[in-house]
Amino acid sequence: MQGGIMTPTVRGCMPPDYNSAQLAEHITEMASGADSVVRASLEVPRVRKSQVYLVTNEAVCTRAWRAVDSTVKATNPMAPAKSVQRPLYVFRVGSYAAVWDPRARAGEWASIYFFDEKWTYVNSLLY
């Protein structure tokens, strides 16, 4: 609280909701289903359905934000030098992570970023 006004704290994780349920279904189908072409093109390992789940750990979501921010800045020369952390949907996909920033869209499309266990960018998928 500053000067009697409550300032909202930025939480790193989006909560479970309709969007996370839809995205979890999409990622689970891709990562555990028979669609090996998409999975292979993304370089994401095949995992059991139980290995795909929404992350709500703030430290993990903050790490995911840094990974996405770094990736965007490395791949887009027009990206702003400074950015403010926003809440993300972060999914564990086996030892990998899938990250979606619901506020970052290109028209009707949004990117889901995939990172390996060391938070190295692997690939992205338009969703």
Residue 92 has pLDDT above 50, yes or no: yes
Tens digit of each residue's pLDDT (9 = 90 or more) over 68-90: 999 988 888 888 888 888 899 99
Q: What's the pLDDT score for residue 3? A: 45
Q: What's the pLDDT score for residue 50? A: 95
Residue 15 has pLDDT above 60, yes or no: yes
Q: Which two tokens stand for residue 96?
A: 């990998």
Q: What's the pLDDT score for residue 56? A: 93
Instruction: Quote the CA–CA distance of 86 and 104 in Å, as a whole number.
Output: 10
Confidence of residue 17 (pLDDT cuts 50, 70, 90): very high
Mean pLDDT of the chain: 87
**Model's pTM, two decimal places?**
0.86
Tens digit of each residue's pLDDT (9 = 90 or more) over 51-65: 999 999 999 999 999
Residue 43: exposed, middle, or buried by beta-carbon count in 10 A (0-12, 13-18, 19+)? exposed
Q: What's the pLDDT score for residue 83? A: 83
Instruction: Quote the CA–CA distance of 9 and 11 in Å, as a whole number.
Output: 6
